[in-house]
Amino acid sequence: MPKRDHSSTGVKARVLSFGAIGGIGFVVDAGILQSLFALGMLPLIARCISFPVAVTVTWLLNRRYTFRDRSHSGSDARYFLYVGGQIVGAFINVGVFVLTIRHWPGLALGPLIPMIAGSALALIFNFAWANLLVFRQRPPP
């Protein structure tokens, strides 16, 4: 079983990896959002399509890279736990997105700024969820 790294370097590397993968997920999400928006879809409906694709991409990449040193047993259950956390993160993300557009209606014409605000707050929650629950290291028997 891999040794757990409690050093600040290990935590920093994990946070940086998670953030970089979140950036990839952001690009996937934003690319789909902007494409659908350009095709005439309302921003909130477009997010309902772009978000699940981005979640699956980040799941696969985080599992492969950020949390590669942790057990992947029960991956199906962990995927659903990850998705559950991402749904809570999505409520944070989309809630901020909607509130931003409501308070600054002009931002609905270019929905990336509200998306960035929502994504930033959700990222903090999502890392804690993934690190502490989804990919937690199980103690040796």
In this model, does residue 3 exceed pLDDT 60?
A: no
Instruction: Report d(CA 66, CA 49) in Å as an integer.
Output: 25
Domain boundaries, the chain: 8-134
Q: Which is higher by pLDDT, 66 or 10? A: 66
Name 83's Cβ contacts closer than 8 Å, sequence gap at least 6.
55, 59
In this model, does residue 1 exceed pLDDT 50?
A: no
Q: What angle do CA 40, 46, 51 make, to 5 degrees?
A: 160
Q: What is the mean pLDDT of residues 49-78?
A: 88
What are 64-79's pLDDT values in tens digits? 999 998 877 777 788 8
Instruction: Report d(CA 32, CA 46) in Å as an integer.
Output: 8
Instruction: Report d(CA 46, CA 52) in Å as an integer.
Output: 11
Inter-residue contact 56 to 83 (CB < 8 Å): no
Predicted local distance difference test score (pLDDT) of residue 2: 46
Predicted local distance difference test score (pLDDT) of residue 110: 82
What is the DSSP code string of 33-63?
HHHHHHTT--HHHHHHHHHHHHHHHHHHHII
What are 112-129's pLDDT values in tens digits? 888 888 888 988 899 999
pTM, to two decimals: 0.71
Q: What is the mean pLDDT of residues 104-116?
A: 85
